[in-house]
């Protein structure tokens, strides 16, 4: 029997440890070559000042793992095999941050790890609920696993692509976890609540060094691909746990709304790049946060809270829409209409720009 009364102390200790590790990591990252250098002068999208340590994921995930094991949470869930897969992805991502693996190699690794998580970590969402208004959409065992793998890979990459502005990706992950924690708490599921809280703690610590606020004018640490991909995988796993049958805590369409910001942005950018004749995987400044910054001339400390607010709002629509009894299919059709409208608008304003 787990003693949850001790868990707030674990969380507080985790925050302190995270802070200390980031201070040390920022100091020693240059010696390890884990730095992200600006490339705006050469036509790239990175316009930050100076080389920034890529240590976010390398600290957040080990702290999370330490909290899970010190509190014995792994004995009650599939967290132990999940952490094994996530830490492997973290290692590969760190190598990518340093040596820049080929995109297809990264993609194959992501698919393989998503398959591992679905098969060995109980991440199979076989029933999508009444998405279209004609009854529950049951995918079956094999179909559910295939769909879950696709969802995890897409979410990992969407969150990775969101990591382009100080505080943006970390803040979104914290907001998404906050909604999932609220879902768990409302359902009386204390164990998954604390599991997600133990992940939220080091992310909050990371934002102290990554977000912009008074007396902290620029990020002093980045997540890196290692961090954003790994966190995308584990947050996706938590999302599936909240929504999977036979006893879902929230309908799958609620998860779609909670994850709207990176999903909609990635979808729109993908088709805009195709319209421009570019590779859809080519990095550029077409993402929504860059467009707001470039068109409005606003600084990240203004743009990032705007994006955070959108994430809070879409999560509220998904959660409270279901709570007040809006049918699942109505929520899906509204979400789809917004997605298509935003995508067509982005193609209209940016699609004519050729590579």
Torsion of Cα atoms, 252 then 254 then 256 then 262, to 10°: -140
Helices (H), the chain: 7-32, 56-70, 79-99, 103-120, 140-162, 168-186, 190-210, 224-243, 252-258, 260-276, 288-296, 300-323, 328-350
Per-residue pLDDT, averaged over 34-40, amounts to 69
DSSP code per residue over 10-43: HHHHHHHHHHHHHHHHHHHHHHHT-EE---GGGT
User: Tens digits of per-residue pLDDT, 87-96?
Assistant: 888 888 777 7
Task: Let me know if 329 is exposed, middle or buried by CB neighbors in 10 A (0-12, 13-18, 19+).
Answer: middle
Q: Flag the least confident range among 4-18, 31-45, 48-62.
A: 31-45
Q: In this prediction, what percent of the chain has a pLDDT beyond 90?
A: 62
- Angstrom CA distances, 130 to 6, 79, 243, 247, stand at 40, 29, 13, 15
User: Contact 159/307 with Cβ under 8 angstroms?
Assistant: no
For residue 43, name the pLDDT band (cuts at 50, 70, 90): very low
Cis geometry, peptide bond prior to residue 246 (ω within 30 degrees of 0): yes
Q: Residue 240's Cα: distance from chain center in Å?
A: 13
pLDDT at 322: 97
Higher pLDDT, 221 or 29: 221
* 53 membership: H or E segment, kind and range: strand 52-53
Q: State yes or no: pLDDT of 42 exceeds 80.
A: no
pLDDT of residue 40: 46
Say what the pTM is: 0.92
The pair phi, psi for residue 119, each rounded to 5°, is: -80, -45
- In the chain, the largest separation of any two C-alpha atoms, in whole Å, equals 61
Which one has a higher pLDDT value, 179 or 275? 179
Q: Which residues contact 140 (CB under 8 A, 6 or more apart)?
A: 126
Q: Is the pLDDT of residue 267 over 90?
A: yes
Mean pLDDT of the chain: 89
pLDDT band at 38 (very low <50, low <70, confident <90, very high): low
**Cβ atoms of 128 and 262 closer than 8 Å:** no
242: confidence class by pLDDT, cuts 50, 70, 90: very high
CA distance 195 to 64: 9
Highest mean pLDDT of the ranges 34-43, 99-108, 152-161: 152-161
pLDDT attached to residue 208? 96
Q: What is the mean pLDDT of residues 117-141?
A: 91
pLDDT band at 41 (very low <50, low <70, confident <90, very high): very low
> Is residue 198 very low, low, confident or very high in pLDDT (cuts 50, 70, 90)?
very high
Mean pLDDT over 259-271 rounds to 94
Tokens coding 160 = 């990775």
Percent of the residues in the chain that have a pLDDT greater than 70, as a whole number: 93
Q: Where are the domains of the chain?
A: 48-350
Q: Measured on CA atoms in the order 238, 241, 244, 247, is the torsion positive or negative?
A: negative
The pLDDT value recorded for residue 352 is 65
**Per-residue model confidence as pLDDT tens digits over 302-355:** 999 999 999 999 999 999 999 999 999 999 999 999 999 999 999 988 866 654
* Structure confidence by residue, pLDDT tens digits, 283-313: 778 888 988 888 888 888 899 999 999 999 9
Instruction: Check residue 304 and give its pLDDT.
Output: 95
Q: Are residues 101 and 229 in contact, defined by beta-carbon separation less than 8 angstroms?
A: no
pLDDT score recorded for residue 173: 98
């Amino acid at each position: 029997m787990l003693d949850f009364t001790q868990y707030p102390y674990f969380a507080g200790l985790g925050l302190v440890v995270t802070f200390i590790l980031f201070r040390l990591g920022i100091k020693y990252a240059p010696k390890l070559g884990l730095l992200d250098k600006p490339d705006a002068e050469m036509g790239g999208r990175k316009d930050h000042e100076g080389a920034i340590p890529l240590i976010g994921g390398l600290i957040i995930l080990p702290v999370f793992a330490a909290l899970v094991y010190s509190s014995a949470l792994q004995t009650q869930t599939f967290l132990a095999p999940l952490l094994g897969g996530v830490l492997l992805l973290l290692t590969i991502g760190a190598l990518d941050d340093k040596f820049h693996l080929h995109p297809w190699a990264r993609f194959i690794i992501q698919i393989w790890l998503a398959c591992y998580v679905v098969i060995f970590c109980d991440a199979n969402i076989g029933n999508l609920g009444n998405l279209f208004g004609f009854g529950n959409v049951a995918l079956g065992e094999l179909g559910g696993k295939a769909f879950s793998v696709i969802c995890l890979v897409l979410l990992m990459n969407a969150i990775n692509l969101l990591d382009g502005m100080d505080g943006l990706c970390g803040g979104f992950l914290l907001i998404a976890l906050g909604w999932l924690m609220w879902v768990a708490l409302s359902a009386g599921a204390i164990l998954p609540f604390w599991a997600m809280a133990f992940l939220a703690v080091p992310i909050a610590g990371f934002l102290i060094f990554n977000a912009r606020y008074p007396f902290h004018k620029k990020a002093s640490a980045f997540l890196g691909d290692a961090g954003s991909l790994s966190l995308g995988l584990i947050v996706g796993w938590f999302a599936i746990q909240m929504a999977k049958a036979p006893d879902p805590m929230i309908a799958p369409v609620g998860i779609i709304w909670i994850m709207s910001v990176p999903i909609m942005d990635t979808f729109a950018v993908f088709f805009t790049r195709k319209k421009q004749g570019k590779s859809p995987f080519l990095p550029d400044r077409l993402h929504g946060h860059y467009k707001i910054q470039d068109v409005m001339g606003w600084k990240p400390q203004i743009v990032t809270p705007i994006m955070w607010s959108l994430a809070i709002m879409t999560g509220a629509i998904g959660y409270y829409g279901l709570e007040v009894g809006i049918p699942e299919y109505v929520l899906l059709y509204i979400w789809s209409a917004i997605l298509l409208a935003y995508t067509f608008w982005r193609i209209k304003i940016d699609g004519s720009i050729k590579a």
